Chain A
Amino acid sequence: MAIGDQNIKDLNAIRKLIKQHKKNDSIFAGVGLFVIATLAVALLVLFLDLVIDGYPKMNLDFFSNFPSRKAEGAGILSAWVGSSLVLIVTFFVAVPMGVAAGIYLEEYAKKGWFADLIEINVANLAGVPSIIYGLLALGLFVYEFGLGQSILTAGLTLSLLMLPIVIVSTREAIRAIPVHIREAAYAVGATKWQVTLHHVLQYAMGGVLTGIIIGMARAIGETAPVITIGALTFIAFLPPSPVTDVVPFINFAWLDAGFTVLPIQMFNWISRPEHAFHINAAATGAVIIILTLLMNGIAIKLRYNIRKKIKW
């Protein structure tokens, strides 16, 4: 009888304990939900506010008109073309360099104090305020190399900003590849380069792409460094087209052209006293947010698709 009583008592204690633990579970879930909801609502309010304010300007003319003294006719043609061209330069500079650097640091570099030093510095570079990059670019690209206040300069500047993001995400993606997969490749007689090319790079591609797109999304919204190197704030012409009708059908004159970008255009309109220009600014802001969300969405989708094919 005594034994039976003992068991029932224990059971009650256990049930009480489980109840307490489950309460902790729901408290944490509740706090988490609250935090997430706050962030989501903040972003949504910000975005909706811009959309509502800028709604009158949300039409095709806005994208195909140059900025103008008259707010009604003003558009963001030169700004989005400028942003696109700058991003193209950024992409072609930062991606090969960043991925190559990530692979080198992770696969080839001898581990030691020097590699550690580089690692710490790269991680820190990702957190350096962007205006510092602007100052560096002004001294280096504009004055030292004489590249002028051009699309090329802006692209190079933003690629400096993007490089650490690409390097860090490449290294993390490479580190996530299990040792036993690498050893399997080495064991059949692959060289280091073959392992890198056929395995490491392919399996890391999801993480690398994510890093690239998040880096680009950051670059598209950057204002300070682009202002520092002297981007124009009012521009009513387009750079020369990269594609021409004479052989070899592409030209690089656009690299040397003056330009503006979306956030600068927005900044310019905000600083105008007339309300009509503020509507333009809000519309531009909405465009930037949509572009950023779109790019992040693509990153998530790509990563998901690639991860689905790779398991170990």
Chain B
Amino acid sequence: MVKKQEIIKAESKEFNFHYADGTHALKDINIPLYEKRITALIGPSGCGKSTFLRSFNRMHDLYPGNKYAGEIILYPDNTNILDKKVDPIEVRMRISMVFQKPNPFPKSIYENVAYGLRVRGENNKRLLDDKVEEALKGASLWNEVKDRLQDLAYNLSGGQQQRLCIARALATDPEIMLFDEPTSALDPIATVNIEELMSELKKKLTILIVTHNMQQAARISDYTAYMYLGKMIEFDETDIIFTNPSKKETEDYITGKFG
């Protein structure tokens, strides 16, 4: 199904997830993430796409009782990031995340971006300055904030805050970036900015995005997975999913007959 020569960056194999209350949220998910490509997860609310995304940086470990089964392998080092022996903090240092609602810390713009480096023990002022600038440029926010890096982050607009969160996730040079419906709280112009930014970011890293917005998936992603009731129904190149899906359920969802 993948014609082009692609490198696999990460892959979920027979991945299952149970919430603490016993809900079997994800069933036997097999999805590859190709390097420097955007993979979109679509599907109706409650289908498990956010749950799947949050497994990639072990966010579920923060709440007791959640259980993973199966594997999510990170290449090229073949690390199963779900392995009990792999520290979730190590995983989060390699895979960063941008959330649905912009969630900057109630600190300065500078400290928000620098925080990921600070927890890695980096205190060299000049290096931090350079990294903060680089990350803010990468998130195309630098020109808007370069004169007020010490301002509190919540003085920024919603779209700027989300780009600040992208800069924060970018500052630590992640291998994969996770986006959990990053534009659902933003206006259309801010949404376009973020989408353009993601297309720019994929030149350097691998992106997994959950979106409610099918047009968004069609616009920016290279691969799309359609999920329903905790199962992966279909995974393919985005063009194929949206023009010629092989499964009836996918077609019904894409064409708006369902969902």
Q: List residues of chain A with CB under 8 Å of any chain B CB.
A: 110-111, 178, 180-191, 194, 198-199, 203, 309-312
CA distance A110 to B104 in the complex (A): 28
Which single residue of chain A is at the shortest CB-CB distance from B88?
A186
Least CB distance, B12 to chain A, in whole angstroms:
19
Please pick, from B101, B120, B152, the residue contacting A189 in the complex, using a CB distance under 8 A.
Answer: B120
Q: A180-B101, A309-B152, A311-B154 are in contact. Are A190 and B119 (CB under 8 A)?
A: yes
B96 contacts the other chain (CB 8 A):
yes
Chain A residues near B154: list those with CB within 8 A. Answer: 311-312
Contact present for A203 and B106 (CB under 8 Å): yes
Contact present for B119 and A187 (CB under 8 Å): no
Please pick, from A181, A182, A188, the residue contacting B116 in the complex, using a CB distance under 8 A.
Answer: A188
CA distance A198 to B120 in the complex (A): 13
B62 contacts the other chain (CB 8 A):
yes
Contact present for A181 and B103 (CB under 8 Å): yes
CA distance A190 to B105 in the complex (A): 13
In the assembled complex, 19 residue pairs joining A and B whose CB atoms fall closer than 8 Å, in A order, are: A110-B64, A178-B103, A180-B101, A181-B103, A181-B105, A181-B106, A183-B62, A184-B99, A184-B168, A185-B105, A186-B59, A187-B57, A187-B92, A188-B172, A189-B116, A190-B115, A191-B119, A199-B105, A309-B106
B220 contacts the other chain (CB 8 A):
no
Those of B68-94 within 8 Å (CB) of chain A = 89, 92-93
Q: A110-B64, A311-B154, A312-B154 are in contact. Are A188 and B106 (CB under 8 A)?
A: no
Contact present for A186 and B92 (CB under 8 Å): yes
**What band does the interface of chain B fall in when counting residues whose beta carbon is under 8 Å from A?**
20 to 34
Those of B101-145 within 8 Å (CB) of chain A = 101, 103-106, 115-116, 118-120
- For the complex of A and B, the 3 pairs showing the least CB-CB separation, nearest first, are A188-B116, A189-B93, A310-B106
Contact present for A184 and B103 (CB under 8 Å): yes
Q: A194-B119, A311-B154, A312-B154 are in contact. Are A187 and B105 (CB under 8 A)?
A: no
**Which of B59, B93, B105 gathers the greatest number of chain A CB atoms within 10 Å?**
B105
Least CB distance, B20 to chain A, in whole angstroms:
11
Chain B residues near A191: list those with CB within 8 A. Answer: 89, 119
**Which of A182, A183, A187, A198 gathers the greatest number of chain B CB atoms within 10 Å?**
A187
- Chain A interface, DSSP helix/strand/loop, else mixed: helix
Q: A111-B64, A180-B101, A194-B119 are in contact. Are A187 and B106 (CB under 8 A)?
A: no
Contact present for B168 and A188 (CB under 8 Å): yes
Q: List residues of chain B with CB under 8 Å of any chain A CB.
A: 57, 59, 62, 64, 89, 92-93, 96-97, 99, 101, 103-106, 115-116, 118-120, 152, 154, 165, 168-169, 172
Chain B residues near A199: list those with CB within 8 A. Answer: 105
Which single residue of chain A is at the shortest CB-CB distance from B153?
A311
Q: A110-B64, A309-B152 are in contact. Are A188 and B103 (CB under 8 A)?
A: no
Contact present for B64 and A189 (CB under 8 Å): no
CA distance A309 to B151 in the complex (A): 11
Contact present for B96 and A188 (CB under 8 Å): yes
Chain B residues near A198: list those with CB within 8 A. Answer: 115, 118-119
Contact present for A188 and B169 (CB under 8 Å): yes
Contact present for B115 and A185 (CB under 8 Å): yes
Contact present for A189 and B92 (CB under 8 Å): yes
CA distance A83 to B39 in the complex (A): 67
Least CB distance, B153 to chain A, in whole angstroms:
9
**Which of B93, B106, B116, B154 gathers the greatest number of chain A CB atoms within 10 Å?**
B106
Least CB distance, B115 to chain A, in whole angstroms:
6
Least CB distance, A108 to chain B, in whole angstroms:
12
CA distance A182 to B99 in the complex (A): 12
Please pick, from A183, A203, A309, the residue contacting B103 in the complex, using a CB distance under 8 A.
Answer: A183
CA distance A187 to B101 in the complex (A): 14
Chain A residues near B172: list those with CB within 8 A. Answer: 188-189
Contact present for A312 and B106 (CB under 8 Å): yes
Contact present for B64 and A187 (CB under 8 Å): no
Least CB distance, B128 to chain A, in whole angstroms:
14
Least CB distance, A103 to chain B, in whole angstroms:
16
CA distance A311 to B161 in the complex (A): 13
CA distance A178 to B115 in the complex (A): 18
Contact present for B89 and A187 (CB under 8 Å): no
Least CB distance, A12 to chain B, in whole angstroms:
41
Chain B residues near A178: list those with CB within 8 A. Answer: 103
Least CB distance, B105 to chain A, in whole angstroms:
6
Q: A110-B64, A203-B106, A309-B106 are in contact. Are A187 and B152 (CB under 8 A)?
A: no
CA distance A241 to B195 in the complex (A): 68
Please pick, from A110, A111, A188, A312, the residue contacting B115 in the complex, using a CB distance under 8 A.
Answer: A188
Least CB distance, A303 to chain B, in whole angstroms:
15
CA distance A310 to B97 in the complex (A): 23
Contact present for B119 and A188 (CB under 8 Å): yes
Chain A residues near B116: list those with CB within 8 A. Answer: 188-189
Which single residue of chain B is at the shortest CB-CB distance from A177?
B106
CA distance A266 to B115 in the complex (A): 54
Chain A residues near B165: list those with CB within 8 A. Answer: 184
Least CB distance, B146 to chain A, in whole angstroms:
22
Chain A residues near B92: list those with CB within 8 A. Answer: 186-189
CA distance A191 to B89 in the complex (A): 7
